[in-house]
Each structure stands twice: as structure tokens, then as C-alpha cells.
């Protein structure tokens, strides 16, 4: 994803939040992960600008045939996933204090609402202002994830968080709140996610009015992306490894789903958090050091949660 990857310095590996003040932890954790000279805001701006261009231009490019347009849609969706992970990596490396994160999140929420209001003024406004609102929404989610990551005082806590995220997302997408929102309140789901546009959908006779979305990444996907990778930066994990382990399965999942949809296979929306959290846990499996009792506790806790969510799904479907 990016070659500006952090590596542990010669200092001890116990430089995490629980053993230092916030400022000391950030200074040490981020300095170990990425030197301050390598943190470039213009790189963050370039990634955000590329994301905006992708969301704006993809629906306006007509390649002349439905097949080519669909292939372009798949390529754009994969590109969006890669750029999103890169953006999270860049945000994770920033050295921000909690109050700065809160202030930036408030600004992001305001920008999101303003852009969303502007996008509702007309079809052309939706085409150009909608992606701006999406970017503000993404930054708001990333800052929320950064703030939540401060709760994690040691690396081992990432393991149960990842397991719970996987199980909970499968449940919510299959029969839980996400499934209900898709069925009964698609407008709410659209507002709390970033839609990936169908290539060429705004290039036909209807113009911007024909803009349609194929898939999307939701609120939880971006929040947990930021939570995992920001915590990895604080604990001096090699970030590039985590970026690759997350981006590859997410891209494969998106591409496979779109290919199957294109072939007429009726599939529900897929949960992306299992690929995000699963990739993260696989990338840093050697960093988690649990006692025998903790391993058994995690196993039984995961099984209990799986059974509980399975029972809830059965009740909701019956």
C-alpha cells in the first residue's frame, strides 16, 4: 500500500497507551512506527482527491458496452477499496491528541451535513457534491475509529475485538439492523454508507439523473478499519503488512460479489468486516501473546457469542 512503513526501533516493545500519558504514548508509538518527517499531509490530500475523482468520474465514463462498463465498475470498486485502506493508513500515522481528534470529527460531521444538503439540491449537485459528502463521512468515521482505539490499552485486546466484530457484522448484515435497513429503510443505509457508482450510469441520455450505485462500504467498515490500524500504529506494528492483509481479501470479496451479481446470481449484501478484521488478525497473529486460560476463554466466549447470535437470527427469521 505504501512503502513508508514503520518498524520498531531499539526501544522496548511496551510503548503503549496504558503505560504512558497520551502525549508520550503517541510520540513514542508513532515515532517508532513512522518518523515525523515521513508524515505528509499532501499525501493524505492526494489520496482523498483521487478518491473524489474516482467517485465523480466513474459514472461519467461510458466505455460503449454494458460488459465493458461493468468491468470498469468492478475495477473502480477495487480501486476504491485500495484507496480507502491507503487513506486509513495515512490517517493512522498522524500524531493527534484526543481533543484534536474530537475537533476534527466535529468539523467532518459539519462538512458531511453541508455536502449532503447540497447534494439533495439536484441531480448534478448529487453527482459532484455527493462524493464530497462521502469523503467527509469517511473522515468522520476514521476519526471515530481513532478515538475508540484509545480504549485498547494493550495489543492482546485487539484479538477479542476482532472476533466480536466478525461475528457481529455477519449477524447484522444477515438478519440484524443492516439487513432491516436495507429492506425497510434503504435511504438510511445509503446515508450511512459510501456508495460505489456504476460505471457509465450518469453518461446516458438521462445524464446525472441516471446515477446508480452498485455496492457500498458502511459506517462500521470505516470505523473498524481506523480502530485496527491506528492501534497497530500505536503498538508499533508494521503497518504496510496490515494494509496488504486487509486490502487483498476486501478487494477479492468485492470483485467476486460484483462478478456473481453480473452473472445473475442473487446474493444479499456481503459483510466486509470479516475480511477487514480477519485480515488484520492474520497479519498480526504473532503479536498476540495469550495465556492458556485466555485462549480457552476467548474460544468459549466466541462460541457462546456465535450460538447467541445464531439463536437470535433464527428467532428473527421465524
pLDDT tens track for 31-64: 344 444 344 678 888 999 999 999 999 999 999 8
Contact (Cβ atoms closer than 8 angstroms) between residue 93 and residue 34: yes
pLDDT-derived band of residue 28, with 50, 70 and 90 as boundaries? very low
Where on the phi/psi map is residue 91: left (φ > 0), alpha (ψ -120 to 50), or beta? Answer: alpha
Phi, psi of 309 (to 5 degrees): -70, -35
Tell me what percent of the residues of the chain surpass a pLDDT of 90: 43
| Mean per-residue pLDDT, 292-304 | 63
Work out the mean pLDDT of the chain and round it to a whole number.
79
Instruction: Count CA within 13 A, CB hemisphere, residue 144.
Output: 15
| Mean per-residue pLDDT, 230-238 | 93
Give the C-alpha separation, 193 to 186, whole Å: 11
Helices (H) and strands (E) in the chain, counts: 12, 2
| Mean per-residue pLDDT, 213-234 | 90
Measured torsion, CA atoms of residues 101, 23, 47, 210, in degrees rounded to the nearest 10: -20
Spell out the residues 6+ positions from residue 130 whose beta carbon is closer than 8 angstroms to its own. Answer: 55, 115, 119
Q: Hey, what's the cell of 267?
A: 446474493
Question: Does the pLDDT of residue 300 top 90, yes or no?
Answer: no
Question: Does the pLDDT of residue 241 top 90, yes or no?
Answer: yes
Where on the phi/psi map is residue 25: left (φ > 0), alpha (ψ -120 to 50), or beta? Answer: alpha
Question: Which helix H or strand E contains 215, and what residues bound it?
Answer: strand 213-218
Amino acid at each position: 500500500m505504501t512503502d513508508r512503513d514503520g518498524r520498531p526501533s531499539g526501544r522496548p516493545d511496551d510503548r503503549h497507551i496504558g503505560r504512558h500519558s497520551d502525549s508520550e504514548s503517541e510520540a513514542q508509538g508513532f515515532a517508532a512506527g513512522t518518523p515525523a518527517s515521513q508524515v505528509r499531509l499532501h499525501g493524505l490530500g492526494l489520496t482523498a482527491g483521487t478518491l473524489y475523482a474516482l467517485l465523480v468520474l466513474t459514472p461519467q465514463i461510458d466505455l460503449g458496452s454494458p460488459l465493458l462498463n461493468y468491468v470498469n465498475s468492478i475495477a473502480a470498486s477495487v480501486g476504491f477499496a485500495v484507496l480507502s485502506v491507503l487513506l486509513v493508513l495515512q490517517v493512522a500515522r498522524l500524531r493527534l491528541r484526543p481533543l484534536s481528534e474530537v475537533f476534527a470529527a466535529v468539523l467532518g460531521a459539519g462538512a458531511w451535513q453541508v455536502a449532503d444538503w447540497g447534494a439533495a439540491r439536484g441531480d448534478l449537485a448529487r453527482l459532484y457534491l455527493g462524493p464530497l459528502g462521502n469523503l467527509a463521512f469517511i473522515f468522520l468515521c476514521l476519526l471515530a475509529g481513532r478515538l475508540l482505539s484509545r480504549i485498547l490499552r494493550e495489543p492482546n485486546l485487539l484479538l477479542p475485538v476482532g472476533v466480536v466484530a466478525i461475528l457481529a457484522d455477519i449477524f447484522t448484515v444477515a438478519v440484524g439492523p443492516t439487513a432491516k435497513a436495507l429492506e425497510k429503510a434503504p435511504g438510511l443505509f445509503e446515508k450511512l454508507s459510501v456508495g460505489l457508482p456504476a460505471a457509465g450510469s450518469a453518461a446516458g441520455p438521462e445524464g446525472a439523473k441516471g446515477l446508480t450505485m452498485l455496492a457500498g462500504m458502511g459506517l462500521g467498515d470505516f470505523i473498524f478499519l481506523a480502530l485496527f490500524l491506528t492501534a497497530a500504529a500505536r503498538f508499533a506494528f508494521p503497518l504496510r503488512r496490515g494494509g496488504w492483509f486487509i486490502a487483498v481479501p476486501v478487494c477479492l470479496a468485492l470483485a467476486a460479489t460484483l462478478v456473481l451479481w453480473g452473472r445473475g446470481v442473487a446474493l444479499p449484501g456481503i459483510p466486509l468486516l470479516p475480511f477487514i478484521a480477519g485480515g488484520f488478525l492474520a497479519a498480526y497473529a504473532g503479536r498476540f501473546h495469550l495465556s492458556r486460560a485466555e485462549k480457552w476463554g476467548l474460544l468459549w466466549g466466541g462460541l457462546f457469542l456465535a450460538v447467541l447470535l445464531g439463536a437470535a437470527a433464527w428467532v428473527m427469521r421465524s
